[in-house]
Chain A
Amino acid sequence: MKFKKEINQSFNFLGRKRIKQKEELFSAKTLERIDQDVKIQFNYDFNAIYSSVSIDPKIINSELVLDVFVLGNLTRISLEKSQKSTNHIISDVPNGSNLELRLKIISVDENEPGRIFAATANKMSLKSKDDGDENDSDSSSNGILRFEQSDELNGRLLHVDWSPNSEIEIRIDRIFYEKYNDKPLFRAAIYPDLIRSIAIQLISHHDELEELDESSTAYYWLKFFDDKLNLPLLGQDSIFHNSDIAEAPQAIDTIVETFMAKQWHGEKTILGEFLRGN
């Protein structure tokens, strides 16, 4: 196999095809957890996956595999053509950690080891927690929206500060707050700037995040971005790495975009709630 050595983030030089993350092609479901063993059912349509990427398994010497990552450890599962569903037990999965899955069609030709013919673009996340619907719990957002009303914002609606003890302080224009705080307009007007300002503060203090006190509001926001938006700023899946400050604008934009695109209470986005609620 001849390797090309150019690094180009967008150039897929081996012609890898993308397997779409669709339920009818592949799905996974946690069946049960016993201690740190999680039993998962994987449902898949072998032929549909191959035909979706126009690969003929009779011609291309390949294998459909599922990589399961947990805490930096990899388990590889071979998905057989003859089956539609398979159950597997993944070990060493602490309660609360996420399993991440990536579906691949890989080469089994000895002349082309290590080649991917097709794969899902991103790793799919599967909650391992056994305590029910994550939406029932809102622990990571409790108590973090503490607005301090202010008359000194010089025409701005809000201002976000990082205090020395890692408290994120949110000051908001007093008159605007009194007039609109119970209306959908309030969230539509305030939240994009609020989330952007908080993301800027967290990323600006990235070297302090690992040592945050867990009772601090900064830690709550860090958890909120991770738990609710699936956008961690620390750890294995962090969307920002301190080594490359150029990543910061993109990371901040991603947080704001994800937050505003998410359907919150009543299955509406914040803007949708405002537009349809008035």
Chain B
Amino acid sequence: MEINARILNDDGLKAIKHIFDIARSGITSNKTAAKLKTPDFAQISSIIYDDKFTTIAPDTMIDPNRTFSNRLELGLYLNSIIDKKSSLSQYENVGFWAWISALYLNQILEPNKAKTEYKLWTDVRYIPLREFTKLRWYRHLCYLPYHICSRRPKASAEFFLIMEPYKHSDNIEQLWTADKDFTSSPGIIEVAKELYIDKESKNYRRNYLGKGAGSARRLATVIVKQWQMNYDVNMLSRDQVWELLPKEFDGWKKLSTR
């Protein structure tokens, strides 16, 4: 059943952060995840529906029970319910995006096998910063999939988002942020999908982000950087990109045609 989406106010944000901070007590390194447990979720749930801590977001209905098998599904769903012209669509709408994160928190935190504990990382993955910073915005686990899906066709968005909703992966760090000419070129993304996504398992091929010959990392950070000096890469078709690929990609080409 759909409900009105909400926006956390300052007290609501403080209350959520307080729960996160308590979970992190005693942890000194940001390379170690804190753990959220079942009672924490109950506490968070009581905050996000409380009028003391939230206000109703205008004209936006959301299904709190919806489940997402990957980031793409999350991004497509959020794109379907959020008006792109409204202020809700902006990263700087801290209260809204923090509320979305809190609503789907059990899906954007990695659970243990028994689903009794969930890994909590730094706040920027769940609560946007008040001021936009290009080093941080793409790490928000709900905003980034929404952003990509609202600006790219599904076929392109898929390449960046077919991992679990809780994964801020190397894919984003190494590829999405690698080079504007890579992310914005439909022909290149189409080829990248063929090379690095297994059609049957619908998952990335092993070592696609490795440092070796023909990897997606090399394509994004070395090859496309060189191409853009000579080609109008955003206009290259899939076939042109395929033909341009150097020999080091031959092994990946063979995999894609199996």
Spell out A's residues near B (CB within 8 Å).
1, 3, 5-9, 12-14, 16, 35-36, 67, 69, 71-74, 76, 92, 94-98, 100, 104, 106-107, 113-116, 119, 123, 164-166, 208, 210-214, 222-223, 226, 232, 234-236, 238, 241-244
Whether the Cβ atoms of A114 and B135 lie closer than 8 Å is no
Whether the Cβ atoms of A222 and B226 lie closer than 8 Å is no
Using Cβ atoms and an 8 Å threshold, which residues of chain A touch B46? none
Given A7-B246, A232-B135, decide whether A243 and B217 contact each other with a Cβ distance below 8 A: yes
Which of A9, A12, A97, A238 meets B132, CB within 8 Å? A97
- In angstroms, Cα B215 to Cα A241, docked, is 14
Which of A95, A211, A222, A243 meets B31, CB within 8 Å? A211
Whether the Cβ atoms of B134 and A97 lie closer than 8 Å is yes
- In angstroms, Cα B203 to Cα A72, docked, is 23
Spell out B's residues near A (CB within 8 Å).
28-31, 87, 90-92, 121-122, 129, 131-135, 137-139, 147, 151, 173-174, 176-180, 183-184, 211, 217-218, 221-223, 226, 229-237, 240, 243-247
Whether the Cβ atoms of A114 and B235 lie closer than 8 Å is yes
Given A12-B230, A72-B183, decide whether A222 and B30 contact each other with a Cβ distance below 8 A: no
Closest beta carbon of chain B to A126's beta carbon, Å: 14
Using Cβ atoms and an 8 Å threshold, which residues of chain B touch A3? 240, 243-244
8 A–B contacts from the bound complex (CB under 8 Å): A76-B234, A94-B90, A96-B134, A210-B139, A211-B122, A235-B177, A236-B177, A236-B180
- In angstroms, Cα B134 to Cα A226, docked, is 10
Closest beta carbon of chain B to A19's beta carbon, Å: 13
Using Cβ atoms and an 8 Å threshold, which residues of chain B touch A242? 174
Given A16-B230, A235-B177: 9 more A-B contacts, CB < 8 Å: A1-B240, A14-B230, A35-B87, A71-B134, A94-B137, A232-B135, A238-B177, A241-B221, A243-B217
Q: Which of A12, A14, A164, A242 has the most CB of B within 10 A?
A: A242
Of all chain A residues, the one with the shortest Cβ separation from B225 is A9
Whether the Cβ atoms of A94 and B237 lie closer than 8 Å is no
Which of A12, A72, A222, A226 meets B176, CB within 8 Å? A72
The 7 A-B pairs with the shortest beta carbon distances in the complex, nearest first, are A94-B132, A74-B184, A211-B30, A96-B132, A72-B183, A69-B180, A114-B236
Using Cβ atoms and an 8 Å threshold, which residues of chain A touch B129? 214
Closest beta carbon of chain A to B154's beta carbon, Å: 16
Whether the Cβ atoms of B232 and A36 lie closer than 8 Å is no
Closest beta carbon of chain A to B109's beta carbon, Å: 15
Given A96-B131, A98-B134, A226-B135, decide whether A74 and B234 contact each other with a Cβ distance below 8 A: yes
Q: Which of A123, A211, A238 has the most CB of B within 10 A?
A: A211
Given A74-B184, A236-B179, decide whether A244 and B135 contact each other with a Cβ distance below 8 A: no
Given A72-B183, A94-B91, A243-B221, decide whether A16 and B177 contact each other with a Cβ distance below 8 A: no
Using Cβ atoms and an 8 Å threshold, which residues of chain B touch A119? 229
How many residue pairs link A and B with beta carbons under 8 A? The number is 132
Of all chain A residues, the one with the shortest Cβ separation from B230 is A14
Whether the Cβ atoms of A104 and B28 lie closer than 8 Å is no
Which of B87, B131, B135 meets A222, CB within 8 Å? B135
- In angstroms, Cα B177 to Cα A94, docked, is 17
Which of A114, A222, A241 meets B174, CB within 8 Å? A241
Which of B92, B135, B184 meets A235, CB within 8 Å? B135
- In angstroms, Cα B88 to Cα A35, docked, is 12
Whether the Cβ atoms of B229 and A12 lie closer than 8 Å is yes
Given A3-B244, A74-B234, A243-B217, decide whether A236 and B134 contact each other with a Cβ distance below 8 A: yes
Whether the Cβ atoms of A106 and B226 lie closer than 8 Å is no
Of all chain B residues, the one with the shortest Cβ separation from A96 is B132
Of all chain A residues, the one with the shortest Cβ separation from B240 is A114
- In angstroms, Cα B243 to Cα A27, docked, is 36
- In angstroms, Cα B245 to Cα A76, docked, is 25
Closest beta carbon of chain B to A153's beta carbon, Å: 27
Using Cβ atoms and an 8 Å threshold, which residues of chain B touch A241? 174, 178, 217, 221
Using Cβ atoms and an 8 Å threshold, which residues of chain B touch A76? 234
Which of A5, A208, A244 meets B211, CB within 8 Å? A244
Whether the Cβ atoms of A213 and B122 lie closer than 8 Å is yes
Closest beta carbon of chain A to B97's beta carbon, Å: 13
Given A5-B245, A94-B91, decide whether A114 and B233 contact each other with a Cβ distance below 8 A: yes
Of all chain B residues, the one with the shortest Cβ separation from A104 is B232
Given A236-B177, A241-B178, decide whether A211 and B121 contact each other with a Cβ distance below 8 A: yes
Using Cβ atoms and an 8 Å threshold, which residues of chain A touch B240? 1, 3, 113-114
Using Cβ atoms and an 8 Å threshold, which residues of chain B touch A244? 211, 221-222
- In angstroms, Cα B227 to Cα A6, docked, is 10
Using Cβ atoms and an 8 Å threshold, which residues of chain A touch B183? 72
